[in-house]
Amino acid sequence: MASHPDPLEGSNFLVDFAGTDDASFSHVDLPVALLDEVAYRSGDDKANEPRKQPGLASYTHLVLSRGLTTNLDLWNWWEAARNGDPTVDRNVVVRLLDGTGQLVLTWKFRNAFPAVYRLSPLDAAASDLVVETVELAFDSMDVEV
């Protein structure tokens, strides 16, 4: 894979996960990765400030949006999660491509499931498209170059 010293454009990407007929999304909000801070101070420590060390990792949701069609695969996935389907988890991959279509970066999300499903408002006075959005919770995120 070629090195890219300049900042990368975010307009060419692919989303891949099993169980959907159409994974062509128009917008992806990648999650924020967080580490808990664990404060520790022993009883005989002369300093009044605790020492800090990294704790558990957590992530905000991966948010995927696309124009609504009659394809109900995302709704059906959310409904399966709501109903307690034990096979609802999927591995999701987001691939960033450069202007020539070459792979630049890959984000992998393990054991993702739809935590939020929403549609944009319907408005008789506007000519906007209806946008379908799903927010995915997941166990872990890996990034590969």
Any idea what the Cα angle at residue 133 is, between residues 130 and 137, rounded to 5°? Answer: 175
Question: What is the structure's pLDDT at 17?
Answer: 85
Q: For position 19, what pLDDT does the model report? A: 64
Strands (E), 41-139: 51-59, 62-67, 90-97, 103-119, 131-137
Amino acid present at 45: D
Nearest to 140 by CA among 104, 105, 106, 112: 112
Find the radius of gyration of the CA atoms of the chain: 20
10-residue stretch averages of pLDDT, the chain, 145 residues long: 77 86 87 96 88 96 97 95 96 94 96 98 96 98 96
Helix (H) or strand (E) holding 16: strand 13-16
Domains of the chain: 13-144 (2.30.110.20)
Q: How many residues does the chain have?
A: 145
Residue 58 CA to residue 138 CA, distance in Å, equals 9
**pTM of the shown model:** 0.89
Between the CA of residue 79 and those of 12, 87, 93, 120, what are the distances in Å?
Answer: 30, 12, 22, 18
pLDDT for position 1: 52
